[in-house]
């Protein structure tokens, strides 16, 4: 029996009925399709006396998702118009699925990206701030509880994952840290020598590069490198686990996702970032050393002596504090975006991008705050 449909108005109720075989393979050779059914139903709902939409399938032989999707589109439009929806006359396999689909509100995110005006979009972001702030505080509270369990020996995490994080954040990052730090030292030495030559004080290039790298530039550069390669990696891995429902599986097995996924990454990055910073400082000073010796004619002994003469241990500790804070910020941003990621590929991409942006902004803000504090206390 070929597919057919009937739309009629019975005393204020639009009855949408389908008969025959409503499968894609059957409709391919039929003149009936889902489009005319939905158009006719929507036109019938325009009548002023319509208060209800009823679905029926009196002689339905077979059906698939095409008919269900068509009924769902008509039902959602009815709900949007404030009309009642009755699915009691549908087959047992179709009615519960349609009711379940209607119980879940449609996602308007994609449409809103194109339909919202500037002020509407801005207002939505402002109104979302309290909810985001509450969510961030809940996440930080969960991380704090996880750290408490770790220090009391009750955290459930894999030590192998912790060592993998050490390797990913440490050994695997050495090439890019070496290159960027060496070039930064070269740039600092070359730019500063252009001005110091005017006063015949090229020798102070050594102390300028050394103090700059150790106190601020080394930690900041290392933090930005890790924010670009490690933070988004955390977000992508955990976000992919959200998509594959692996995080839900951990919860189902009684394993805390915060302990198993977030804790090793926070600890690993908090420990490895200061160590990488020390290495970055050496690489940056080496870059300045090459410029001083090869281009400015400073002897190696004089360069090293000038570097060490103005270097204070407090500068090293200040730099390591910067690095420690940066490591925690990068790990928290990456893990937060991953844990709170949506359950599709585009959501993982947005989480990865947000992890990079949030990490870099956090590094800049933290650097400003720490610098102001140490300037006030004269350290």
- Kindly list the domain boundaries of the chain, sorted by start residue: 4-106, 156-376
CA distance 11 to 54: 12
pLDDT recorded at residue 42: 82
Report the range of poorest mean pLDDT among 99-108, 238-247, 309-318, 352-361: 99-108
**Higher per-residue confidence, 178 vs 117:** 178
pLDDT recorded at residue 225: 93
How many residues appear in the chain? 379
pLDDT recorded at residue 326: 95
CA distance 319 to 361: 18
Q: For residue range 11-47, list pLDDT tens digits in order.
A: 888 888 888 887 776 665 566 666 777 888 888 888 8
DSSP label of 107? P
CB 219 within 8 A of CB 277: yes
- From 243, 239, 245, select the one nearest 350 (Cα to Cα): 239
Q: What is the mean pLDDT of residues 352-364?
A: 93
CA distance 344 to 47: 40
Share of residues in the chain with pLDDT > 90 (%) = 32
**Higher per-residue confidence, 228 vs 94:** 228
pLDDT recorded at residue 199: 80
Give the CA angle between residues 23, 28, 29 to the nearest 5°.
115
CATH code of the domain occupying 4-106: 3.30.750.24
SS3 (DSSP) at 35: helix
Tell me what the pLDDT averaged over the chain comes to.
85
CA distance 276 to 214: 12
Phi, psi torsion values for 82, nearest 5 degrees:
85, 20
CA–CA distances in Å: residue 190 to residues 86, 178, 194, 196, 213: 78, 18, 7, 10, 14
Phi, psi torsion values for 231, nearest 5 degrees:
-55, -50
State yes or no: pLDDT of 112 exceeds 60: no
Q: What is the mean pLDDT of residues 145-160?
A: 86
State yes or no: pLDDT of 143 exceeds 80: yes
CA distance 289 to 283: 10
DSSP label of 106? P
pLDDT recorded at residue 110: 45
Q: For residue range 191-237, list pLDDT tens digits in order.
A: 888 888 878 788 888 888 999 999 889 999 999 999 998 999 999 99
Highest mean pLDDT pick, 31-45, 111-125, 354-368: 354-368
The residue behind tokens 């309290």 is: 130
pLDDT recorded at residue 28: 59
State yes or no: pLDDT of 89 exceeds 90: no
């Amino acid at each position: 029996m070929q597919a057919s449909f009937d739309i009629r108005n019975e005393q204020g109720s639009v009855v949408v009925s389908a008969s025959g075989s409503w499968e894609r393979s059957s409709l391919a050779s039929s003149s009936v399709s889902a489009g005319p059914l939905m158009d006719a139903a929507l036109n019938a709902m325009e009548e002023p006396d319509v208060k209800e939409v009823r679905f029926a399938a009196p002689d339905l032989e077979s059906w698939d998702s095409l008919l269900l999707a068509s009924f769902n589109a008509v039902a959602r439009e009815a709900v949007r118009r404030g009309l009642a929806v009755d699915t009691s006359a549908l087959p047992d396999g179709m009615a519960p699925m349609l009711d379940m689909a209607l119980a879940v509100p449609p996602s308007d995110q994609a449409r809103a990206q194109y339909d919202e005006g500037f002020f509407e979009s801005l207002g939505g972001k402002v109104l979302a701030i309290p909810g985001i702030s509450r969510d961030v505080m809940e996440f930080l509270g969960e991380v704090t509880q996880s750290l408490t369990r770790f220090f009391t020996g009750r955290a459930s995490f894999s030590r192998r994952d912790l060592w993998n994080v050490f390797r990913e954040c440490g050994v695997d990052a050495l090439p890019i840290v070496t290159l960027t730090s060496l070039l930064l030292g070269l740039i600092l030495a070359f730019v500063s020598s252009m001005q110091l030559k005017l006063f015949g004080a090229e020798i102070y290039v050594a102390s300028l590069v050394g103090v700059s790298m150790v106190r601020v530039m080394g930690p900041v550069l290392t933090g930005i490198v890790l924010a670009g390669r490690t933070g988004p990696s955390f977000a992508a891995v955990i976000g992919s686990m959200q998509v594959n429902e692996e995080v839900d599986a951990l919860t189902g097995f009684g394993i805390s996702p915060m302990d198993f996924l977030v804790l090793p990454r926070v600890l690993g990055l908090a420990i490895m970032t200061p160590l990488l910073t020390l290495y970055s400082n050496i690489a940056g000073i080496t870059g300045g050393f090459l410029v001083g010796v090869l281009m400015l004619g400073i002897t190696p002994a004089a360069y090293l002596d000038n570097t060490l003469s103005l270097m204070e241990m407090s500068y090293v500790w200040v730099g390591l504090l910067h690095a420690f804070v940066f490591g925690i910020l990068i790990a928290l941003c990456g893990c937060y975006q991953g844990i709170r990621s949506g359950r599709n590929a585009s959501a993982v991409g947005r989480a990865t991008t947000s992890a990079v942006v949030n990490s870099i902004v956090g590094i800049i803000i933290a650097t400003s705050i720490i610098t102001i504090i140490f300037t006030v206390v004269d350290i």
